[in-house]
Amino acid sequence: MKINTVSEISNLVKKNLNLQFPGFTTQGVVKDIFNSGSFLIFSLTDKYSKVKCILRFVDKKELVLDDGDMVEVRGSLSVFERSSEFQIIVSAVNVCKKNKPTRKKVLFAGDSEKVFELRKKQDVVDFPKLITTVGIITSLDGAALSDILTVVNDELRYLRVKIFPAIMGGRRVLRSLETVTNAINSDKDLDVVIMTRGGGSYEDLAVFNSKNIAHLLKEIRVPVISAIGHAKDEVLADTASCFSVSTPTAAIQKIVTNKIKFERKLEHLWSELHVAFLRSMNKNHVQLKKIDTKLYGTRNLVLDKEFRLRLIFQKVFLAQRNLIAKCLKITSDNKRRLDLARKKSVKIENISCNNLTFEKKIEKSRQELTSGQILTIKFRGEVVRVKILDIYKPD
């Protein structure tokens, strides 16, 4: 025999429900409304039963539902696989009768002015920061704790939960809550506290009408959400807390609302940051284009100057090379002519021959020359007078 997993059974039930109830209409009273932004989640109740309903917001933004409204719902049955709970996927809602808000029955019969003086003026939904740590005052064997932890596991995975076990019925409630209050005030990490228990008779809830318990709640340094009894009852503990709700699930949904609020705030901040980043990038891009244009013009100017300097360098280099070659040639010619003059054994004094050349040979022969004689020599069109100092006769 095949062994089916829990998930397979849940899927099987879901398929059968979709086949058996593709569409139907039902009627009931709305309870425990929660708006998640994209979905409206509420419970539809009658005298004996309650079923969870999910309505997707498409064009139904104008729909307004309140606790206690009598509505007619059309939809199909489905199963939430994680918890294997069946729910109604709502396609249409028709409000048959709006609930007229009435004051809840206050079980405490004391001075009403003193009761409202104990209330703290702070709403958890408008908590100034994201709630990351919550304390829960409840009994460990109650269903309230299980309901809260289910929501935390599904929607608040980041949330740190600290459980403060307490006696929530009988004569020892006050002493138990005193111990819990001291433990809560010594914990510096808590952001909010939920005190909850299920419903009960007048006698079961009467202990929470104690002024001592109300004063204990006042001494807690963090906001307190109270979920004591049913929606029709209100005890002094509800009045003395910062916020009161009808069920444990509704209490933890306040934390979910806080999370959604900050998610939207983060999305808004991210959108603003993205827009600011794009604007900054666009501004920097324009500035960089201007700088690039200036640098391009300067670069062209530098290249033009460099090209002209290269031309000038080439001209100077060629001129220097030609001048050196010319000087070398002149020096070579002068050396050759001096060597020729030395062969004729004639010393010439006070004559610089670096830039002079002999235009014609000396016309007198060596036998006709004598020391002290003055000669006239023509160099490159110039006539120079020289004196013979000595004559060397070869052997």
Output the pTM of the full model: 0.46
Q: Is residue 167 within 8 Å of 173, Cβ to Cβ? A: yes
Which residues is 376 bridged to in the sheet?
385
Taking Cα atoms as reference points, which of 65, 37, 35, 31 lies closest to residue 50?
31
Q: What is the pLDDT of residue 161?
A: 92
Higher local confidence (pLDDT), 60 or 106: 60
Is residue 157 a part of any domain in this protein? Answer: yes
**And the tokens for 155?**
């929607």
Q: What is the pLDDT of residue 92?
A: 86
Domain boundary among 262, 282, 297: 262
Domain boundary among 262, 285, 315: 262
DSSP for 173-240 reads: HHHHHHHHHHHHHH-SS-SEEEEEE----HHHHGGGG-HHHHHHHHH-SS-EEEEES-TTEE-HHHHH
Q: Is 149 found in the same domain as 237?
A: yes
Write the pLDDT tens digit of every residue in 346-370: 444 444 444 433 334 444 444 566 7
| Helix, coil or strand: residue 164 | strand
What is the rounded distance in angstroms from the CA atom of residue 166 to the CA atom of residue 163?
9
Q: Is 125 found in the same domain as 210?
A: yes
Taking Cα atoms as reference points, which of 158, 166, 155, 258 lies closest to residue 220?
166
What is the rounded distance in angstroms from the CA atom of residue 143 to the CA atom of residue 207?
20
What is the chain's Cα-based Rg? 55
Write the pLDDT tens digit of every residue in 249-298: 888 888 888 888 888 888 888 888 988 998 888 888 888 888 888 888 88
What is the rounded distance in angstroms from the CA atom of residue 174 to the CA atom of residue 168?
9
Q: Which domain holds residue 386?
A: 345-395
Confidence of residue 19 (pLDDT cuts 50, 70, 90): low
Is residue 229 a part of any domain in this protein? Answer: yes
Q: Is 133 found in the same domain as 204?
A: yes
Q: Is 257 found in the same domain as 137?
A: yes
**And the tokens for 40?**
């409206």
Taking Cα atoms as reference points, which of 12, 264, 251, 285 lies closest to residue 134?
251
Is residue 130 a part of any domain in this protein? Answer: yes
Do you know the residue count of the chain? 395
Q: What is the pLDDT of residue 18?
A: 66
Is residue 28 a part of any domain in this protein? Answer: yes
Domain count, the chain: 3
